[in-house]
Structure 1
């Protein structure tokens, strides 16, 4: 899961259109999957990770299967859809969930074939 999270972070830094979403956000969210916990810290317009941060308490958490977490982090499926399907469990207020859904979904990888058609 760490590779997918690192790829997500690399994509988010390349896509400036997503940065205003969390410019003033101050969130700590745990991603739990297959006994592994990765904490995302969103603060002052930046995002970073802490791996196996059990000592760090977080108010918010997303947990579920490896497949569902991959879909979320790659932006191929929306957070709330995965939650409604029972593939992910989200413990966060609706407003926070919508913010996270926007960040994950808008950071998805661009299809280079479609971009070439536009250019």
Structure 2
């Protein structure tokens, strides 16, 4: 629960994300003590989960604000590159079906956009 409270993901999900972005965050060398991929991912998740300023996130994990910025840029871009693989937009018919299913659960409301996760790959 402690990991979830800090990062808004359970450890298994964090490890899955790490496997997806590790190539984009691994420097392949320990020269100048770079942040490890898991550290970069956790910094990114902490920044996104809390919405805090980069300086505050950096203070909590003891790295500089510019390092937090680089982590967020690097990990954010790596995750964005995965969008086509995991996110798709439903067609009109599927959107109507999803809208009616949602309304049966939540009651009368208007939905403008429907997103579904594409985990078939």
> TM-score under structure 2 normalisation?
0.35
Q: Flag the structure with higher helix content.
A: 2
Q: Flag the structure with higher strand content.
A: 1
Structure showing greater radius of gyration is 2
